[in-house]
Each structure stands twice: as structure tokens, then as C-alpha cells.
């Protein structure tokens, strides 16, 4: 559910705050980063947040792994699609099992 929410927010271009004061400084408004008024260009994998270039260089994120925002969106979409396919396969197996059990009971 968390990954899906992150992907939805990324596809809408919204910020993903990790909570606390970082969320406030990194949330996207029309102008980008609220603290620095810079565009949000990278995604911090550790915090699950979009960052501007200035936030990226701050102590809070300097050692974190970051990706360009479009690449992060692509990664999340791929993960969601793979998980969705697994769920669909499981559903199909359960439906087939249910149908077999219903036939057996009749």
C-alpha cells in the first residue's frame, strides 16, 4: 500500500515526506520545495521523499541514495506491475481451486 501511494504521488508530481520537519521542508507546492523554492528533481530512496538540489546536499540526505525523479517513477511502476501480476496469478489460482471444490461438492 505504501509503494502504491508513493507511485501515485510521484505520478501526480507530489512530494513524499517521511514525516516530521523534513516533510515540511520538502513538500511540493506549485513552486517546488517549500523551504528553498527550488524544483524537486531527485527522489531519496531512504526517506521516500522528493528533494530539491539544496535539500539533496543537506546533512539529512547527503549520504542517502537518490535517483532522478522520472527514474524513481519508472522503478515504482515496474515494482507495482510485478506485484499486481503476482496478485492476479494468485487470484486466478484461488478461483480455480474454488471452482474445483464447488464441482467436487456437487
Convert the pLDDT of each residue in 56-69 to its tens digit. Answer: 888 888 888 888 98
DSSP-derived secondary structure for 43-82: EETTTTEEE-HHHHTSTTTTTS-EEEHHHHHHHHHHHHHH
For residue range 17-76, list pLDDT tens digits in order. Answer: 544 444 434 444 445 778 888 888 888 888 888 888 888 888 888 888 888 989 988 998
Secondary structure (3-state) at 7: helix
* Dihedral angle of Cα 22, 23, 25, 29, to the nearest 10 degrees: 160
Residue 38 lies in a domain: yes
Question: What is the reported pLDDT for 31?
Answer: 54
Report yes or no: 4 and 80 within 8 Å, Cβ to Cβ. yes
Question: What is the reported pLDDT for 15?
Answer: 55
Cell of 74: 519508472
Residue 1 lies in a domain: no
CATH number of 93's domain: 3.30.160.60
pTM: 0.54
Amino acid at each position: 500500500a505504501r509503494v502504491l501511494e508513493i507511485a501515485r504521488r510521484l505520478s501526480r508530481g507530489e512530494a513524499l515526506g517521511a514525516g516530521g520537519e523534513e516533510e515540511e521542508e520538502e513538500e511540493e507546492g506549485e513552486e517546488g520545495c517549500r523551504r528553498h523554492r527550488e524544483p524537486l528533481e531527485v527522489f531519496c530512496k531512504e526517506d521516500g521523499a522528493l528533494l530539491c538540489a539544496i535539500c539533496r546536499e543537506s546533512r539529512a540526505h547527503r549520504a542517502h541514495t537518490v535517483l532522478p525523479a522520472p527514474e524513481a517513477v519508472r522503478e515504482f511502476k515496474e515494482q507495482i506491475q510485478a506485484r499486481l501480476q503476482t496478485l492476479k496469478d494468485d487470484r486466478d489460482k484461488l478461483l480455480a481451486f474454488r471452482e474445483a471444490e464447488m464441482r467436487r461438492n456437487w
